[in-house]
Amino acid sequence: MNKKYALDNLNLNNIKAQIKKADNVLFFLDYDGTLAPFQPDPLSAFALPEIETNLKELEKKEAYYLSLVSGRKLAELKKMIDLKRSNFAGSHGLEIELFFSEGVIYPYQTNEIDVLSKKNYQKSKEKYLAKAGVRLEDKGFGFALHFESEQKQLKAEKDLKALFKNTAYQVLAGRKIVEIRPAGWDKGQAVKYISNQINKKLGIDNTLQIYIGDDSTDEDVFRVIENGITIYVKNEDDLSTEAEYYLYDPEDTAELLVEIAGEN
C-alpha cells in the first residue's frame, strides 16, 4: 500500500502542523477496528482504555469537536464508550445524536420503498435467519449479517448484490459483515451533515476535518474530505484506500491520540 505511515516522525509532524494551523478541529472516528480491536462478540469489543482516556482529554479542548461514526446501532455505540461532549452517528449515519441538540436525528429517511425491494428484503432476512454460520442483526430499517468465515461472506455478498441491484436497498460489505440498508446515504454523507450542523449551529470557521477509519465503508468519507487529514487503520488487511495516511491497528490509533491530545 503506497501510503504514508502516520506515526513516522515526518508524517506525524506534518499532521500536528496542520492541526495547529486550524482554529477548530472536526475529529471523526470509526469505532470497530479503529478504537476497539475486533472481538468474536461485538458487545465485548470495548475501546482500548488509553484511547478512551485521550478522547476525554480532547473533549475538554474547546477547539475540538469529536464525532464517532459507526455501522453499529446508535444506542449500542453509545454504550461502548463513555463520552459526554461528542457526537454519535450510528448505522452508518442513518441515526445521529449531536451533543448540542436534543433527541435523535434521522437525516435520511425515505418511505418510497417499492414492493419488489420489500419482497427481496423480507425473503433475504428469512433466509439468513435460518442459515448456519451467520448471525443476523436486525437494525429496524436494515439488517447486518455477521459471518464466521470470509468465504461465506463473499458468497453471500455476491448473491445479495445481484438480488438488490437497482432496488431501494444497498449492500455494504466489511470484515466478515454484509449489511442491507436503504440506498442513498453513507458515512461520507453523515460526516458532511454533522460538519454542516456544527458550523451552522456553533458558528465556527477555519475548521480542519480529520477522519480515522478501517473499513471499506470508511472510503466514502475519505473521498469527500478535502484539505483534511484522512487515516486508514490497516489491521490485518492490505486494502487499497483513498486515505492519505495509514496506521496498523487500534494500538497505533492510541499512540496517535496520545500525540494529538498532548498538543497545546
How does residue 23 score in pLDDT terms, banded at 50, 70 and 90?
very high
User: Are 181 and 141 spatial neighbours (Cβ–Cβ below 8 Å)?
Assistant: yes
Residue 149 above 90 pLDDT? no
The pLDDT of 201-226, averaged and rounded, is 92
pLDDT of res. 1: 53
How many Cβ atoms sit within 10 Å of the Cβ of residue 197? 17
pLDDT of res. 110: 61
pLDDT of res. 159: 93
Which of residues 143, 162, 182 is at a domain's end?
A: 182
Which of residues 182, 208, 226 is at a domain's end?
A: 182
Residues 32 and 119 in one domain: no
How many Cβ atoms sit within 10 Å of the Cβ of residue 160? 23
Question: What pTM value is reported for the model?
Answer: 0.85
- What are the phi and psi torsion angles at 215 (to 5°)? -120, 165
- Name the helix (H) or strand (E) containing 55: helix 49-60
Q: Tell me: the pLDDT tens digits for 58-89?
A: 999 999 999 999 999 999 999 999 999 999 99
Supply the range of the domain harboring residue 94: 4-108+185-261
Instruction: Give the rounded percent of residues in the chain with a pLDDT score beyond 90.
Output: 68
- Name the helix (H) or strand (E) containing 57: helix 49-60
As given in the structure block, the three cell numbers for residue 244 are: 492519505
Residue 26 above 80 pLDDT? yes
pLDDT of res. 205: 80
What's the number of domains the chain is made of? Answer: 2
